[in-house]
Homo-oligomer: A and B are copies of this chain.
Amino acid sequence: MSAGWFRRRFLPRDPLPAPRPSGPHSSPVPYRRPRFLRGSSPGAADASRRPDARPVRSPARGHALPWNAGYAEVINAEKSEFNEDQAACGKLCIRRCEFGLEEDKEWLTVCPEEFLTGHYWALFDGHGGPAAAILAANTLHSCLRRQLEAVVEGVVAAQPPMHLSGCCVCPSDPQFVEEKGIRAEDLVIGALESAFQECDDVIGRELEASGQAGGCTALVAVALQGKLYVANAGDSRAILVRRDEIRPLSSEFTPETERQRIQQLAFVYPELLAGEFTRLEFPRRLKGDDLGQKVLFRDHHMSGWSYKWVEKSDLKYPLIHGQGRQARLLGTLAVSRGLGDHQLRVLDTNIQLKPFLLSIPQVTVLDVDQLALQEEDVVVMATDGLWDVLSNEQVARLVRSFLPGNRGDPHRFSELAKMLISNTQGKEDGATEEQVSYDDVSVFVIPLHSQGQGGSDH
């Protein structure tokens, strides 16, 4: 993406053009559940739960996921026709690209045998239809494999070489790389960043071709060379739970957490708001009675708050509006990063959401080899439906109370995932103060101790 591209794409001359007329469409993306659920039946609802509880699904017994990870999901309470969450996992087989001779620099061979293997778990939380999340589940791992294959020589080197070909143009090149602190893991982070962007492009093309719409968040864990990389774009979450430690492995990207980035873009390109929204943040939407008063506000450059005299333009609908779970970007979207949404517009306008959305994930690295692992150390990844109802501490408590009593069960991590979900569904007695999730919920539980043991490849 170049700045010129950004301007052509998002800053056309007045008046704003209508969405492109849609030509003949290819067939729509078919709805499906994750492949690894094949052969499983929607589980019976937990007897201790309410009679109308929705059934929680998990992989069939005997069908092991990579690292013997557990998985479970539940569909939302009729918020949408389909479960808009999707999941994927499997083995990542990275082949080696071999460079040709000096005179054929652009020629390379992909060796057929795998050169480096890793594992991959991913959750996608769709909105505006299930299509984007399905495409992401079908595509992102291939994008990642391709991006990793493009740099794998650097990933396996003790230190990434300045030149991928390995030839040394300047004798002190290794020292330059060393001084910048560039390590193999930075190439994996770079590959994850590029893979999310590539996948976003694919989704944009495919949705346009099929005349469908929608977007999704993406939370991905990749195990490679003794490290676990967690890449997140959206409001799903991953945490590490150990006996004495709870460590967040991701942070959420919402209109609230990315307020300054979003306001900054509206400051630089005010035409993106088409005169319909105000960039400024106020404690609530202003109205006529506030005119001429000095009220609390924040602009893009401010972490703190100040007061300003209210003018008429401050009465417009706010670029970011609402609190916490209710916060919306342009009155429309609850997340600020993710994949898709290429055609999304504010209702009854031509104002686009996409320029404000980032497809780039934030990547954190867990050095699993350095952890002194204990048997019940797990990573819990889940869509926001879980975290809206359970805190990190509550999840950790449930994990720690469940695992020690279930050591003998090879299916225990899926049982744990099911148990976590059933704790979001409310009890039959409608216990007081208990929060209930009416959203789609999907959970992976990845045991770190048993890494590499068991788990068929997908």
Taking beta carbons and an 8 Å cutoff, which residues of A are in contact with B? 2-3, 6, 105, 150-151, 154, 160, 162-165, 167, 169-170, 172-173, 176-177, 179-180, 182, 185-194, 197, 267-270, 283-284, 287, 289-290, 292-296, 298, 301-307, 323-324, 358, 360, 362-363
Contact = CB atoms under 8 A, between A and B. Distances in A.
B304 A363 contact: yes
A6 B164 CA distance: 41
A270 B358 CA distance: 20
A355 B277 CA distance: 26
Contact of A187 (B151, B305, B358, B363): B305
Nearest to A301: B360
A189 B3 contact: no
Given A3-B268, A165-B293, A179-B323, 15 more contacts: A160-B296, A162-B283, A162-B295, A162-B296, A163-B295, A173-B283, A173-B284, A176-B284, A190-B303, A191-B306, A193-B306, A194-B306, A301-B360, A303-B362, A304-B363
A186 B305 contact: yes
Nearest to A151: B307
Contact of A304 (B163, B172, B187): B187
A164 B187 CA distance: 51
Nearest to A290: B169
A190 B304 contact: yes
A192 B295 contact: no
Given A177-B296, A284-B176, A150 B189 contact: no
A interface, over-half SS:
mixed
Nearest to A163: B293
A304 B188 contact: yes
Contacts of A182: 283, 296, 305
A303 B268 contact: no
Contacts of A283: 162, 173, 176-177, 179-180, 182
A455 B299 CA distance: 38
A176 B304 CA distance: 16
Given A165-B293, A284-B176, A290-B169, A190 B360 contact: no
B268 A164 contact: no
Nearest to A187: B305
Contacts of A295: 162-164
Contacts of A6: 268
A287 B307 CA distance: 52
Contacts of A172: 284
A154 B302 CA distance: 17
A164 B304 contact: no
A241 to B, nearest CB: 25
B105 A292 contact: yes
